[in-house]
Amino acid sequence: MTEAVGKEITIEGVDPRELYGAQNVYLEQIKSLHPTLKIVARGSSLKVLGSEAETQRFTRRMDSLVAYYLKYGHVSSQVIDQCFSGGITQDDAPVDKDVIVYGNNGNIVRARTVNQQRLVRLYDKNDLLFAVGPAGSGKTYTAIALAVRALKEKQVKRIILTRPAVEAGEKLGFLPGDMKEKLDPYLQPLYDALNDMIPPVKLQKFLEDGTVQIAPLAYMRGRTLDNAFVILDEAQNTTLSQIKMFLTRMGRNARFIVTGDVTQIDLPRRSDSGLVRTMEILRGIADIGIVEFDKRDIVRHPLVKHIVEAFDKHVEKEEP
């Protein structure tokens, strides 16, 4: 008689509720595929009792399933069948080269334009990237997708998103609430992108434990950002000294992306913007990449492209 072996499998980086499915429907499916094992789920660990060979086989298949989830951000009944039949292993899950990350509700975040794809390629070769271009070209969204992927793949331990709290025609003092309530509207676009890519319960947990941090640029002063993916958004509204302060926060194993649109400067004097001057100063330094988006990258409503073109023509007429 084969002696039963007990083993505890810890599931890391995955919310068990997502892996086990609503009302444990996926967990019951997994149990049915290994009927000779006794499987008990307790939070993020599985206790397995059965023959040594069957226990090892089950462990390999669970590793494949977890790897699939970490790579694509979702599982399904079909995926479980494939993982537990040996059809999908940790190394040979199909890859769509343009997919950056799998978001919520089956949402697939892809690099959809030439410059979005270029940003993804340069990310693999550079620790600091600048992504500049018009509204709606996907600069920030692509950068946040890369950050979420890096977190899921454990390349970094945290994501830090920041923006300068510059008034775009409104005065902070007249807004209701405390300082956080005054600043949150400026940071809302960053929350919106994260909500597309990370399940709400998990995102809330990440925000509470500091795995994901969203803060005004002034809060970066004095920090050293190690093991982090850091994005400075709306960088056209930073001065030269502010952007220097931000870039010198880079610590060990850190990846930085700076995004901005030099046609939408909200500083009192346009000449105070440090983004263009910073790119000129740093251009040509190894491990720094620059991607300049244009009207062809605009992926919002088709009218946005025509609006940008019309304003560009107006500015050309106004300038001597």
pLDDT tens, position by position, 99-144: 888 777 667 788 888 899 999 999 989 999 999 999 888 999 999 9
**In the CATH scheme, what is the code of domain 99-318?**
3.40.50.300
**Least confident segment among 2-11, 197-206, 270-279:** 2-11
What pLDDT, on the 0 to 100 scale, is given for residue 156?
95
pLDDT tens, position by position, 141-183: 999 999 999 998 899 999 999 988 764 444 445 445 555 565 6
**Where are the domains positioned within the chain?**
5-84, 99-318
Question: Which one, of 105, 111, 84, lies nearest residue 18 by Cα?
Answer: 105
What pLDDT, on the 0 to 100 scale, is given for residue 96?
54
**In the CATH scheme, what is the code of domain 5-84?**
3.30.1370.10
Taking the model in full, what pTM does it have? Answer: 0.68
Within 10 angstroms of residue 239's Cβ, the number of other Cβ atoms is: 16
For residue 247, what are its two tokens? Answer: 């870039």
pLDDT tens, position by position, 221-277: 899 999 999 999 999 999 999 999 999 999 999 999 999 998 888 888 888 899 999
The Cα-based distances of 100 to 97, 118, 148, 150, 315 in angstroms read 8, 12, 9, 10, 35
